[in-house]
Amino acid sequence: MSASYVIGVDFGTDSVRSIIVDTRNGNEIAASVFYYPRWKDGLYCNPSQSRFRQHPQDYIDGLEFTIRQCLQLAGNNIAPYIKAISVDTTGSTPVAVDETGTPLALLPAFKDNPNAMFVLWKDHTAIAEAARINSVAATFPENYLRYVGGIYSSEWFWAKLLHIWRVDEAVRNATYSWVEHCDWIPFLLTGGKHASQIRRGVCAAGHKALYAEAFGGLPPDNFFTAIDPLLKGVTKRLFNETFTSSEAAGNLSAAWAERLGLNTGVVIGIGAFDAHMGAVGGQIEPYHLSKVMGTSTCDMLVAPLDEVKDTLVKGICGQVPGSVIPGMMGMEAGQSAFGDAYAWFSNVLSWPLQNLFQQSSNPEIAALIKEANAKMIAELSRQAAAIVPDENSEWGIDWLNGRRTPDADQSLKGTLTGLNLASDAPRIFRAVAEATCFGAKAIVERFEREGVPVKGLIGIGGVAKKSPFIMQMMADVMNMPIRIHRSEQTCALGAAMFGATAAGIFPKVEDAMQAMGQGFETVYTPDQQRTGLYEDRYRKYKALGAFTANLNID
pLDDT at 295: 87
Residue-wise pLDDT tens digits, 293-304? 988 999 999 999
Q: Do domains 5-282+487-518 and 339-485+522-551 have the same CATH topology?
A: yes
Residue-wise pLDDT tens digits, 226-285? 999 999 999 999 999 999 999 999 999 999 999 999 999 999 999 999 999 999 999 999
Stated pTM of the model: 0.92
Query: Please, which residues bridge with residue 103 across strands?
Result: 97
Sign, CA torsion 84/248/206/237: positive
Query: From start to end of 172-296, where are the E strands?
Result: 177-180, 248-251, 267-269, 272-273, 288-293
Looking at residues 79-91, what average pLDDT do you find?
97
Provide the pLDDT confidence category of residue 358 given band limits of 50, 70 and 90.
Answer: low
Q: With 70 as the cut, is the pLDDT of residue 1 above it? A: no
What is the C-alpha to C-alpha distance for residues 145 and 208, in angstroms, rounded to an integer? 10
pLDDT at 554: 53
pLDDT at 10: 98
Would you tell me which CATH number, out of the four given (2.40.50.140, 3.30.420.40, 3.40.50.2300, 3.40.50.2000), belongs to the domain 5-282+487-518? 3.30.420.40
pLDDT at 552: 66
pLDDT at 425: 97
Looking at residues 288-312, what average pLDDT do you find?
94
Which residues are CB-neighbours of 543 under 8 A, at least 6 positions away? none
Cα dihedral 72→77→83→84 (10° resolution): 10
pLDDT at 306: 95
Provide the pLDDT confidence category of residue 355 given band limits of 50, 70 and 90.
Answer: confident
The one-letter code for the residue type at 443 is I
Please say whether the beta carbons of 287 and 454 come within 8 A: yes
Under DSSP, the state recorded for 230 is: G
What does pLDDT average to over the chain? 95
Q: Where are the domains of the chain?
A: 5-282+487-518, 339-485+522-551
% of residues, the chain, pLDDT over 70 = 99
Looking at residues 298-326, what average pLDDT do you find?
95
Please say whether the beta carbons of 541 and 438 come within 8 A: yes
Would you tell me which CATH number, out of the four given (3.30.420.40, 1.10.1060.10, 3.30.310.80, 3.60.40.10), belongs to the domain 339-485+522-551? 3.30.420.40
Which residues are CB-neighbours of 397 under 8 A, at least 6 positions away? 414, 415, 435, 541, 544, 545, 548
The one-letter code for the residue type at 305 is L
The one-letter code for the residue type at 198 is I
Looking at residues 126-144, what average pLDDT do you find?
97
How far is residue 222 CA from its own chain's centroid? 31
